[in-house]
Chains A and B, each alone.
Chain A
Amino acid sequence: MAKITYVEISGVRKDVEVKTGTTLMHGAVLNGVKGIEAECGGNCMCATCHVYVEPSQLALLPPKSDDEDAMLGSTASPNKANSRLSCQIKSSDALNGLVVYMPPRQS
């Protein structure tokens, strides 16, 4: 279990307890976070669950797979050094306190 803070584009911060093993994408979608579309349902196929990870916390995350890296090449908002696909990040105790920012657009 980890408390994840999702920051919506309006600036609203939503703290969500995300179960270990659940993806950050699912945690957002199931808790009404605005700004995650996830149209492919978490298959790393659509790049519409893009988030920006708080830069100081990047080291908490496992590295991107080649597939995720490739998909990030087609996000609707700029692909930055702290860009990740939230469907590829599973919650764990180690992520407690993580802050992720929604991008301006997903599509």
Chain B
Amino acid sequence: MSEIASPELASVIILGTGQGGFQLAMSLREEGFTGRIVMVGDEAFIPYQRPPLSKAFLSGGTDEEGVLLRPPSYFADHNIELRASTRAVRIDRATRKLILSTGEELAYDHLALATGARNRRLAVEGADLAGVVQLRDLAEAITIRDALPTISRVVVIGAGFIGLEFAATARAKGIEVTVIEAAGRPMARAISRPMSEFFQAKHEATGINFRFQDGVRRILGEERRASGVETTSGELIPADLILVGIGILPNVELAEDAGILVEDGIVVDEFMATSDASISAFGDCARAPNRYARAPLRIESVQNAVDQARCLAQRLTGKPTPYVALPWFWSDQGGLKLQIAGLTNPHDEAIARGDPVSGAFSVFCFNQGRFLGAESVNRVHDYMLARRLLAKGAELAPSQAADIGFDLKSLLN
């Protein structure tokens, strides 16, 4: 699988115009690639950042122009052909062509799949009523932003990052917010219990209501418009807007239909190569080995998409280097800045450093005594040190993490 592509490629077709797809185009040009680059994506916009959509974009801190990754002129200036509003329907591996919904066929020397992911849909009665929204792309964010001024009550289904970022933004506008979550605590899949409890308390202090270990039986509606939620436990919660944030599904169907190996994500090696030497995959849609994980995995983050794109650009320009980047994540919820360094799950020990009551602390996560990573809120120094410790492979003991007097920097020498 790690067969190295020829450095003399004439054309690279990038399927997906998200941040990963864009980074690949940009990195290819920076690495000196002079061949044809075509980006194909079904969204109507030129590449933009998704992270601000659930935060600054909804609060009015930025707008459609402010989220663009580069200005419109960038693409012509760098000889990158951008096909927005264009859907690909099939990959013909035998003739190395990407077939578009218009019937047009794009020939490729190399095809890079940056197809990303889509929101998991809520499968209950009423889920298709007006006023039930999801938030992943700019079109959805515009709809929500424009609706918010007329909204007084929202229900958020799913207490993950997106749900809570949205909940905090809505609450800051004075909107009544209730969050329904199947697990027993917020962000249960992603973060440790102490950090989860901290965020729950902070959100509750702003007036956000939580319903844990509860689900949605159906969405109630009046005249084809959602008016509330009936929970699994039988509670009726009225709402003008219902945001569903219950996870994502990787967009792997085109690859799967073409016979490329898919196991949850599109399977790639540490050079982003799929089971077809002329096709690569990276970002949210790909399942890749990672030096910080025991087994290949899919990671849904900007860092992962961007660093994997850079890795692929290196290989496609004849400088193959295996992927070694340290995973990191962030989430802004209200005034709280959560930063995560490393892959902290599964952990069997979560050690707080600093005092949660102060509003700034970190949780260092361990598995059988091995340091996995750290979650920090408003403690950037801990986060940066954790990044450096992990990258260096330094051995941090749980007792050292717990001792606020212990200088973490001493392990870097």
Please list the residues of chain A having a beta carbon within 8 angstroms of any beta carbon in chain B: 26, 29-32, 39-41, 43, 45-46, 66-67, 70-71, 73-74, 107
Contacts and interface: CB of A to CB of B under 8 A. Distances in A.
Interface stretch (B8-16, B65-73, B79-87, B161-169): B65-73
B71 A40 contact: no
A65 to B, nearest CB: 9
A39 B384 contact: no
Contact of B71 (A30, A41, A70): A30
B223 interface: no
Interface stretch (B116-124, B176-184, B228-236, B302-310): B302-310
Contacts of B23: 39
Interface string B326-347: 0010101000010100000000
Interface string B230-262: 000000000000000000000000000000000
B384 A41 contact: no
B70 A29 contact: yes
A40 B307 CA distance: 12
B388 A43 contact: no
Contacts, number: 49
B67 A74 contact: no
Contacts of A71: 380, 384
B356 interface: no
Contact of A74 (B68, B306, B332, B384): B384
Contacts of B68: 30
Contacts of B380: 66-67, 70-71
B71 A73 contact: no
A7 to B, nearest CB: 18
Nearest to B325: A107
B407 interface: no
A2 B24 CA distance: 32
Given A70-B381, A71-B384, A39 B306 contact: yes
B52 interface: yes
B302 A40 contact: yes
A31 to B, nearest CB: 7
A21 to B, nearest CB: 11
B172 to A, nearest CB: 17
Contacts of A74: 384, 387-388
Contact of B73 (A32, A45, A46, A66): A32
Contact of B51 (A29, A32, A40): A40
Nearest to B78: A32
Interface of B: 19, 23, 49, 51-52, 66-71, 73-74, 77, 302-303, 306-307, 310, 328, 330, 332, 337, 339, 380-381, 383-384, 387-388
A63 to B, nearest CB: 16
Contacts of B74: 32
A29 B48 CA distance: 12
B71 A31 contact: yes
A92 B330 CA distance: 29
A40 B73 contact: no
A30 B380 CA distance: 28
B52 A45 contact: no
Contacts of B66: 26
A24 to B, nearest CB: 15
B51 A43 contact: yes
B49 A41 contact: yes
A32 B330 contact: no
Nearest to B49: A41
B359 to A, nearest CB: 14
Contacts of B303: 39, 46
B330 A43 contact: yes
Contacts of B310: 107
Contacts of B388: 73-74
Contacts of A45: 328, 330, 339
Contacts of A29: 69-71
A8 to B, nearest CB: 12
B70 A41 contact: no
Contacts of B302: 39-40
Contacts of A70: 380-381, 383-384
Contacts of A46: 303
B52 A73 contact: no
B384 A40 contact: no
Contacts of A107: 307, 310
A56 B77 CA distance: 34
Nearest to A41: B49
